[in-house]
Amino acid sequence: MLIYRFRIVANEHDDFLREIEIQPNQTFMDFHHLLVETAELRNTVGAVFFMTDKKNKIRHEITLKTTKKQLRRFDDDLGEVVIETVTMPLMKDSKIKNYVEDPHQTMNYEFHGKEIVTMHIELFKILQSENMVSYPRVARKTGELRKIVELPVLTLIPESNDLPPLVRPVKVKPVPVPNVAAISKLDGIEEDLDEIKSIDAELADILEEEAPEKFEVDSQVATIEDGDEPGYGSDEQMEHLDDLGDMDQIDERYSNYREGSDDY
């Protein structure tokens, strides 16, 4: 049995190369699964084979999923161009031998996932199958496709009263920087001792002129002459006693006090 060997290169991936061997009666679905496995493609959304001629013009389109397209064609009976809806052939129903018409048949494979990967495929050898070998298979493998770095999905946390309040940073007012140039000018000032003494003398004169006058207070001090007892002196002292009351009443008060006292 004959085996088709296809050479596959990937656009925008210069070091990627695969050689795949497949039987003519196998389907494009078998071809697709092997390409996905060897190129480590993920998250398949769709895929399609475009069969092309020597001028790279698309002649047939074979899809992974059911796809309908509107095509324009000239209707000989009507004598005009008409638009008709056509369903593309599926990979699982399309065998390789039914679409390989040239010893150097070319086609393009387009993979749709998180990104679109395009590969160019060319038939470059037809050989006899080997016994006890399973097909399709990868006969040669070089390089890998560059992987897309997947960023983690951010999950929004709903607001809740149980969560602590957000602490906002306190804005610190900038501290004004002193004018170094202005301060440095003070370093050159020298003290004049004679001028300072003159200022001190003027201040002393001003303070002396503004000081209040001293007032002399004549105090009258009552003195007791030798031999006089309190309460028995001059007439002036007696006048003060008269102010307190009658002399008989005073003697009576003092006599009562002496009789009630234990000291006398």
User: What is the predicted pLDDT for the residue at 165?
Assistant: 63
What are the structural domains of the chain?
2-142 (3.10.290.30), 222-264 (no CATH)
The residue whose two tokens read 């324009």 is 72
Mean pLDDT of the chain: 78
Q: Which of 130-134, 177-181, 235-239, 249-253 has the lowest mean pLDDT?
A: 235-239
pLDDT per position as a tens digit, 168-220: 666 667 767 666 666 666 566 666 777 777 887 887 777 776 655 554 544 44
Q: Is the dihedral of CA 121, 123, 127, 128 positive or negative?
A: positive
- Token readout for 247 is 């002399």
The 10s digit of each residue's pLDDT in 16-59 is 999 999 999 999 999 999 999 999 998 999 999 999 988 889 99
Rounded Cα–Cα distance for residues 124 and 8 (Å):
10
Is the pTM higher than 0.75? The answer reads no
pLDDT of residue 71: 81
pLDDT tens digits along 123-138: 999 999 888 899 999 9
For residue 169, what pLDDT is reported?
A: 67
Look at residue 223 and tell me whether its pLDDT is greater than 50. no
Burial class (CB in 10 A: 0-12, 13-18, 19+), 137: middle
